[in-house]
Amino acid sequence: MAWRIDNAATSFYVEAMNSVMNAPVEWIETVGNLRFPPKADHRLQYLMDRNNEGLLTDSEREELEALVELSEKLSLARAGALQMLGKTPE
């Protein structure tokens, strides 16, 4: 399974979170609570373990890179939302 990330859309959301905007608190809280679904998180952990063991195939390496990139961007969006709310990550 190949994972593709829409960088333009992701960049838009990160930039929006970094700018001053008028948004409902509920929306900002929703962004602050975003997490990888358990299945995707387990897949990421599995691929990281295989990578540490030197067992990744080329397609698994591409998938791992995409999941790591998505995880980082999700973390940035969450951090921006939490900052707007004056909260810290759990």
| Cα–Cα distance measured from residue 49 to residue 41, given in angstroms and rounded to the nearest whole number | 12
> pLDDT per residue over 33-82, tens digit each?
999 999 999 999 999 999 999 999 999 999 999 999 999 999 999 999 99
Q: Which amino acid is at 33?
A: N
Task: Quickly state the pLDDT bin for 11 (edges 50, 70, 90).
Answer: low
Give the whole-angstrom CA distance, residue 7 versus residue 18.
16
Q: How far apart are CA 88 and CA 90, in angstroms?
A: 6
Count Cα atoms within 13 angstroms, Cβ side, for 63: 17
Give the global pTM: 0.70
